[in-house]
Structure 1
Amino acid sequence: MSKPESPSLGINMLGATEATEEVLKKFRQLISSAKDVWGLLEALDYLEASLAARPFSAPLINASRELLTVIAHGEYDNIPRLKELVEENVEKLLRRMIEETEAAAEIAARRLENGDTVLTHSYSRSVLRTIEKAVAMGKTIRVIVAESRPVLDGIEMAKALTKLEIDVTLIVDSAMRFMAREATKALIGADAVTADGSIIARTGAGLLALAANESRVRVIVVAGTYKFYPETVYGLMVESPALQEEIVPESHKKLGIKGYAPLFEFVPPHLIDALATEKGLIAPEAVPLLVKEEFGEWPPRLESLEKLFTKAREELKKIGAKPS
């Protein structure tokens, strides 16, 4: 299987929640400012391109499905009404992400003990809010943060943590195994929680989980259920976005050296001790139960995004064809 082309980093620079918020707000702005059906179709093109840029982002996938369902099957007969529906649903989705992130972080924070040393990597709002809440509870927490190459968003995480006036140590990714022996807990954010309880996260999460398991350190993934990715019950063939020539020094490119740095990876459930969600602390094996609770059946029957995009475009064209 060939490696994917290097993406423009764009939303891949952000955490999963921040990336989804940015896309939703931009999509809302494009819909709101559209002067005709062609403007609305351009908004759909933007949403589709964003999904292609970050194909593992369950928050973005789930939010897109809800918005596309509104457009493809919604009750509207003119553009102003459609704009109202999109505005209402974007607000609802943004509010849900905030509420579930806060609740999941609260659950995880209560599992941290005074004096804990937390090992983490990359930038995750869910993990950041967990530590912020633990500190607000009066707990003394030390954090070890891996830099998370090639994006280096672990450095941004370390900066954010310093505002809490706690002990923060930034390490290179290759030192995670060495430093795991100093940790008492490991926290990971996620782009997605798959049907079998695996997670998809920034590359390096697997190394962190392996190192933590070797050192008998509990691994807790902080993720609201808006990050659950039920379609993965049927498998997932999409490859991770990756950087290629961007990571190779110019002097080395002349020697014909190629680069490859995947931005996301799978972490299997046997390396995860628990998932902290807004519904409580659960074992990875319990994910199907929560998915069934959310969708009413297991496995869930969901209309594909490809079909929803097609139907949404057809509905918009019908609106455009109506006499003004």
Structure 2
Amino acid sequence: MLSTKYDAIRAVIWAEMGVQFLDQRRLPEEETYQVATRASEVAEAITKMVVRGAPAIGIAAAYGVVLAARARFSESSLSWRQLIEADLCALAAARPTAVNLFWALARMRSRIKDLPDNVDPEAVLLAEAQSIHLEDIEANYQMSKLGAALIEGSANVLTHCNTGSLATGGFGTALGVIRHAYSKGQIKKVFADETRPWLQGARLTAWELMRDQIPTVLIADSVAPYLLGQGQIQWVIIGADRIAANGDTANKIGSYSLALAARHHGVRFMVVAPTSTIDWSLSSGSEIPIEQRPQEEILTLAGKAVAMPGTEVYNPAFDVTPADLIDALVTEKGVILQPNSNRMKTLLA
């Protein structure tokens, strides 16, 4: 277990009054927690990116089910199962791409199905949500060791978006690997893409790394291919929001171009994600639904207009990296090198 120096941040916290979210829209200027006491408030927090990152979204949704059960059982101990359906649908609709959201809701539905009638469901559902949360942290620690084992010598790495404690239950996926590798002397420096248009790299990843006192260089997204061509980077390490059964990976927009540049320049490309991010129902990445975000994210910056009013906008939140551009897929159940449909099946064993 690493020192709390590398694991001191929690983006989602359960409290008796409800779920506390570290408002990631306000970082790094201020650390403010927002409290959700109803499932609808959890759904809104997910939609508005108060909480973000596929694993963290799934955890938030699980706690949202607990709040829904609390409210619906108080309304009617006889029909709370029927009443809670509206809450489950609202949570599922909060964001379409991150499969962890649907995985967590399916797990909570399974617990609801098993509960006896006329018995307050809150305690059982809370225990399940807390298990989801704890299991994610444990998975992150396991992935950090497996991913770090792939890094040879003392490397410079590049990462995209935010995949740390802010995006997960704690410690992080790709950033968890980076944290662990740095603690073992395997990483010299981390280059972080700013990650337009929400600037998760600039606002969140750089904030996390600097809090951990890990040497960090922030770059504009467009700098990354040039940097890779200079031979300064040994690994690109990213997370994932949904992975198809063949290993195609949806991640924050800009990941695909990084994979192309990395392959062209002979730089290795690692995806780090728990198995809950794999959508076995999808045969390839072409079937992954890609969320379209509001045009204001492109037309404005910090509330100020940066383009002419009426400018047409195309703003996908994610892109899909084909499996044949991925050198290593790291999960808590093992590492898949050069993932494809057959190799991915070993994770089902």
TM-score bracket for this pair, using the shorter chain length = 0.7 to 0.9
Distance 2:297 2:272 in 1: 31
**CA shift digits 1:283-313 (9 cap, x unpaired):** 312113323x3xxxxxxxxxxxxxxxxxxxx
Q: Matched residue of 1:141: which SS?
A: strand
Cα distance between partner residues in 1 of 2:242 and 2:141: 17
Aligned to 1:272: 326
Q: 1:251 to 1:184 in 2, by over 3 A?
A: closer
Name the count of aligned residue pairs: 283
Identity percentage of aligned residues:
27
- Select which of 221, 238, 246 maps to 1:188: 238
Instruction: Give the AA of the match of 1:32.
Output: R
Aligned match of 2:188: 141
Unaligned runs of 5+ in 2: 1-44, 165-172
- Which of 97, 103, 122 aligns to 1:56? It is 97
CA contact (8 A) 1:245 1:260 kept: no
Indicate yes or no: 2:176 matched with 1:129. Answer: yes
Deviation at 1:104, TM superposition (A): 1.0
2:41 matched to which residue of 1? none
**Larger helix fraction of residues:** 1
2:158 paired residue number? 119
1:235-274 mapped onto 2 (5 Å cutoff): 236=287, 238-249=289-300, 250=305, 252-254=307-309, 256-274=310-328
* 169-178 or 137-146, larger mean C-alpha shift: 137-146
Task: Give the whole-Å Cα distance in 1 for the aligned partners of 2:70 and 2:293.
Answer: 33
3-state secondary structure, aligned to 1:67: helix
Pairwise CA distance, 1:163: 2.4
Q: Distance in 1 between matches of 2:288 and 2:274?
A: 24
Q: Is the 8 A contact 2:195 2:254 kept in 1?
A: yes
The equivalent of 1:177 in structure 2 is 225
Q: Output the TM-score relative to the length of structure 2.
A: 0.74
Question: Does residue 78 in structure 1 map to residue 114 in structure 2?
Answer: no
Deviation at 1:162, TM superposition (A): 1.4
User: In 2 relative to 1, CA 251–109 (structure 1 residues): closer, same or farther, beyond 3 Å?
Assistant: closer
Measured at CA, do residues 47 and 147 of structure 1 come closer, stay the same or move farther in structure 2, by a change above 3 Å? farther
Bigger relative contact order, structure 1 or 2 (CA pairs below 8 A, ≥6 apart):
1
Query: Does the 8 Å CA contact 2:157/2:237 hold for their aligned counterparts?
Result: yes
Partner SS state of residue 149, structure 1: coil
User: Deviation at 1:50?
Assistant: 3.1
Shift of 1:272: 0.3
- Across the aligned residues of Structure 1 and Structure 2, the Cα RMSD in angstroms comes to 2.4
For the Cα contact (< 8 Å) 1:11–1:54, is it kept in 2?
no
1:297 maps to none
Residues 151-199 of structure 1 show CA distances to partners (whole Å, capped at 9, x for unaligned) of 1101110111112323211111111111113210110101122111111
Query: Where do 1:1-324 residues align within 5 Å?
Result: 9-11=47-49, 14-34=52-72, 35-37=74-76, 43-71=84-112, 73-80=113-120, 82-125=121-164, 126-155=173-202, 156-181=204-229, 182-233=232-283, 236=287, 238-249=289-300, 250=305, 252-254=307-309, 256-283=310-337, 284-285=339-340, 286-291=343-348, 293=349
The structural deviation recorded for 1:122 is 0.2
